[in-house]
Structure 1
Amino acid sequence: MIHNTNEDIFSHPWETVVHAAWRKYPNPINPAVTGMDVINRRVTEEGVLHTERVLETSFNIPSWVTGLIGLTNPNYSHEFSEVDRTKREMMLKTINLNCTNFVSVDEKLTYKPHPQDADKTILEQETIVTVRGVPLIDYCEKLFLSSYESNAKKGRQALEWVIGNIKRDYEEVIGLPDKLT
């Protein structure tokens, strides 16, 4: 088992980052996510939004991996999320649904306002990769973690891309009254 944590800071308020996280897919920066379906959504009495989604991904899978464990495209993950506006925290937990007898990838993302700067948001990312039942377990775990970290970096870039689109949309809507007169 390999455990990895990262922390990133976005130079945007929490509300903006959370809004962008919901609109993150599809995007041209991380085209591996090919589909997403909401399977459950509810709001608790405390006002916390709980959502479950299934994500479909397609990766460039080496033929030796396909031969070793039978992993083929598409792949599926189950995402659980909570958005607590009172605490100003968004938490996403994702687990893989394919090849779970061979590999488990558990990811947790937590978005919180920066404690010293309200115009920034902290992203805490925790990833646990566990490989079982094959030779070279340590090597395989490191390979999966490296791939996951690369996709996480693309995910952060995609979030910035979405935020840019949100800002452009906002500016376009704000400028509409001037164009109408």
Structure 2
Amino acid sequence: MHFISTSFIYDHSWAHVVIGMWHKYPHPHCSHVKTIDTVDRSVDSKTGIIRTERIIGCKQKAPMWIVKLFGGSEDAFVREISFIDPSTQTASVTSVNLSLSQFATCLERIQYTPSSDGRTTFAQSAEIQTRMNMWRTAADKLENFMAERFKQNAHLGRAAFTDVLSTMWAVNKQQGALS
């Protein structure tokens, strides 16, 4: 099993970051993300917590040994569930791969919380685990591949989201200055 953990500070308020979450894709930095389908969205009338469930479709170039050993295709799907709590100013996002999950899973958790200086803290963790105990060599190679791919995509995702936030809120600042 691989564990990956990282954190980052966005130079934007928590409210700006949460609004920006819904505008991250499509983005040139994340050209592997092809579709975002919202399956369900609800608001708890007592707590005000917004729950959203989405399916994210990606195109991934898998190494030939993975395709030959496990089958599959370049098309991959991920289930994402997010909870936005305006009263506590927390946003949590959990995602897990649907494609090839009988062989391996990547469970990702993201938390956005306000920092004391008006910016937003991003905390991300991932657990990558194969389900092929009898093929340990192949399982180790698959976990290593998935961990490296996750790190690459996480880096691209942060760059894309930073760009989205800067673009969204720079435009709004300019419009406010023109008023």
Query: TM-score when scaled to structure 2?
Result: 0.92
Tell me which residue corresponds to 1:156.
Answer: 158
Deviation at 1:168, TM superposition (A): 3.8
One-letter amino acid of the structure 2 residue matched with residue 86 of structure 1: S
Structure 2: state its 5+ residue gaps.
none
Please state whether the residue corresponding to 1:101 is helix, strand or coil: coil
CA distance in 1, matches of 2:176, 2:33: 32
Tell me which residue corresponds to 1:2.
Answer: 2
Please state whether the residue corresponding to 2:102 is helix, strand or coil: coil
Tell me which residue corresponds to 1:174.
Answer: 176
Deviation at 1:95, TM superposition (A): 0.6
Deviation at 1:61, TM superposition (A): 1.5
Does residue 16 (structure 1) correspond to residue 16 (structure 2)? The answer is yes
Return the match for 1:138 from 130, 137, 140: 140
Within 5 A, what are the aligned runs for 1:13-162? 13-44=13-44, 45-114=46-115, 116-118=116-118, 120-133=119-132, 134-136=135-137, 137-162=139-164
Structure 1: state its 5+ residue gaps.
none
| Mean Cα deviation higher: 165-174 or 135-144 | 165-174
CA distance in 1, matches of 2:20, 2:64: 35
Deviation at 1:13, TM superposition (A): 1.2
One-letter amino acid of the structure 1 residue matched with residue 13 of structure 2: P
Deviation at 1:147, TM superposition (A): 0.7
Q: Which runs of 4+ in 1 moved over 6 A?
A: none
CA distance in 1, matches of 2:62, 2:142: 13
Give a deviation string over 1:19-75, Cα, whole Å, max 9, x none. 111110000011111000101000002100000000000012122211111131211
CA distance in 1, matches of 2:148, 2:75: 20
Please state whether the residue corresponding to 1:67 is helix, strand or coil: helix
Calculate percent identity across the aligned residue pairs.
26
| Mean Cα deviation higher: 140-149 or 92-101 | 140-149
Deviation at 1:146, TM superposition (A): 1.1
CA distance in 2, matches of 1:31, 1:74: 13
One-letter amino acid of the structure 2 residue matched with residue 53 of structure 1: R
| Mean Cα deviation higher: 14-23 or 37-46 | 14-23
